[in-house]
A and B are shown apart, each in its own frame.
Chain A
Amino acid sequence: MSDSGRSGGPDALVASLFRHESGRLVAALTRLFGPHNLQLAEDVVQEALETALQAWKFGLPDNPRAWLSRVARNRALDVIRRGTVERRFAEDYRDQLASEWSRATTVEESLAESSTAENQLRMMLTVCQPQLSEETQVTLILKFLCGFASGEIAAAYLTTEETIDKRLQRGRSVLRQAGALSPAAFAGSEDSRLGAVLRALYLLFNEGYHGSHPSMPTRVVLCEEAIRLCAFLTEGVDSASPQAHALMALMCFHFSRVPGRVDSEGIYLPLAQQDRAVWDRPLMARGLAHLNEAARGSQLSALHLEAGIACQHCLAPSLAATDWNAILGLYDLLYERNPSPVIAINRALARAFAGDPQGALSEAVELAQEPALARYPFYWAARGEIHARANQREEAHVCYQRAASLARNPAEELAFRRNAAAHEEPQQTPS
């Protein structure tokens, strides 16, 4: 408690409160103002946050979110009152906002906590317009739903602020054509709008999890945002499709293994050396619950298969005790659906672990013909592992070195070099 009698210092805030509140309020106001007035919604939210920055210096209000909602409500009502004549608000709210009678309750309803999930979902559907590239969709999500500034997005994606601003500009111009936020009612789980959102969240997660940032092997915040936003889908009535649950399961399984993925210097550890005791068990349990939900219905999507593979890794008490045959079976199904060389090399690796290193080796060697894999460091690392499993230490060493030479960042390179070194010495005969 601070002496001002309010409830604790700003340390008591959730670290992402401002960002998340920005996302919550921008969606709530864009629902009313319409996507063509996105900038107006952003301005109102920015002012509300600036007001909080000033007012909360000496202590926090009891309920910071409600406080922000109130400030945003008052500003929004001002804006609407002044603009009813010359501005056109969202198609589905024009009448309610024009009438003095219903204006305040309409604004309050949209800003209420109980509307948050629907607003966020509608905003995600709206920014994932089919005419926008996937990277632009992800950029818009980071900006409008996660509350990141252009510079922050640029830093996360190792690109320039200018590139991000261009994407945002393109996004804004497409959004200006939409008269209202996309509705949250779906034409069944095959609704392509839902698929677009799932794909964007999948990309966002992967950028955090498998990204190529030089100094940060895992950008935890990107993974966390993807999981947080996916929860709006899986907790929705219409949006909780089996695929949404499968994506959520996949992300929970992957993310639960982040602790232990690198050593104290941030270098990737081979799966065999990872300490499974530090994996996040509650998150795995959450993943399992979503995998169960994903199994309802008759769909078996690529997401289901990927989640199934990640699940096998999570459940295994050790590398040796992993059910490699189950993983191999899932890779077979995945490859049937999407015969890509990347899936093929992963399948070969699973085959090697499942006890058939010779079969795996002939597959892996054949894949060297694939142009997509020639400069792909993980192909060479996987092939190194397969050679090692087939007791070809010298070849393993050469492949790991090749992987190191193609690594995208120093942490990756060092991890591959360690593997190369581990296979350098001729195998000692046990005495």
Chain B
Amino acid sequence: MAKFIYVFRGGAFLEKGLSASAMQDHLKLWGAWMGELAKQGHKPAGEAVHEGGRTIRGKNKVVNDGPYAELKDLVTGNLAIEAASLDEAARLAMGCPIYIYDGSVEVRPVAQMG
């Protein structure tokens, strides 16, 4: 098994004014997807990030408030999983509910140390 990282951008979190029921229904889809990944032995381990934060860049270590990205490109979380191949990892990412709210998933292979 190889390791992969899903980088999530955009999605429901950035959609303002969702109803309480719509939020809960959406969360349920995430739960179902996560549950399925775990059940199939892909060992998902993820973290969500909030809006805001700081970006530090350049030789002069310039500090700016917040990420630079446009809203739809804003990173909203990441998830590490195990899969047999990039193809499989990408196929599994198809089940993510983030697309309902126009989000994206970037699937990246983790560089192996050994």
Contact = CB atoms under 8 A, between A and B. Distances in A.
Contact of A56 (B20, B21, B27): B27
Contacts of B31: 9-12
Interface string A30-64: 00000000000000001001111111111100000
Contact of B27 (A21, A51, A57, A147): A57
B24 A3 contact: no
A147 B20 contact: yes
Given A3-B44, A55-B48, A57-B77, A10 B19 contact: no
B76 interface: yes
A152 interface: yes
B86 interface: no
Interface string A173-212: 0000000000000000000000000000000000000000
B35 A53 contact: no
A58 B96 CA distance: 12
A12 B32 CA distance: 11
A280 to B, nearest CB: 25
Given A3-B43, A13-B24, A58-B46, A53 B12 contact: yes
Nearest to A17: B24
A204 B24 CA distance: 23
A149 B20 contact: yes
Interface string A148-174: 110110000000000000000000000
Contact of B20 (A2, A18, A55): A18
A152 B21 contact: yes
Contacts of B18: 50, 53
Contacts of A15: 24
Contacts of A52: 23
B88 interface: no
Nearest to A4: B45
A2 B43 CA distance: 9
In this complex, the interface size class of chain A, counting residues with CB under 8 Å from chain B, is 20 to 34
B20 A57 contact: no
A52 B48 CA distance: 10
A49 B23 contact: yes
A281 interface: no
Contacts of A126: none
B76 A53 contact: no
A219 to B, nearest CB: 14
Contacts of B19: 147-149, 151-152
Given A4-B46, A11-B28, A46-B17, A53 B23 contact: yes
Contacts of A346: none
A137 interface: no
B44 A19 contact: no
A103 B18 CA distance: 30
Given A19-B21, A57-B77, A13 B44 contact: no
B38 interface: yes
A58 B79 CA distance: 9
B6 to A, nearest CB: 11
A53 B20 CA distance: 10
A54 B50 contact: yes
A58 B27 CA distance: 9
B3 interface: no
B90 to A, nearest CB: 20
A119 interface: no
B21 A11 contact: no
A51 B20 contact: no
A57 B23 contact: no
B16 interface: yes
A22 interface: yes
Contacts of B35: 2, 9, 11
A19 B24 contact: yes
Given A11-B31, A18-B24, A19-B24, A51 B50 contact: yes
Contacts of A16: 24
Nearest to B13: A54
B53 to A, nearest CB: 13
A18 B45 contact: no
B87 interface: no
B26 A9 contact: no
B30 A22 contact: no
Nearest to B35: A9
A47 to B, nearest CB: 9
A12 B34 CA distance: 13
Interface string B27-68: 110111011001000011111101000000000000000000
Interface of B: 12-13, 16-24, 26-28, 30-32, 34-35, 38, 43-48, 50, 76-77, 79
28 contacts: A2-B34, A3-B38, A3-B43, A3-B44, A4-B45, A9-B35, A10-B27, A11-B28, A11-B31, A12-B31, A13-B27, A18-B23, A18-B24, A19-B20, A19-B24, A53-B12, A57-B27, A58-B45, A58-B77, A58-B79, A59-B34, A147-B19, A147-B21, A148-B20, A148-B21, A149-B20, A149-B22, A152-B21
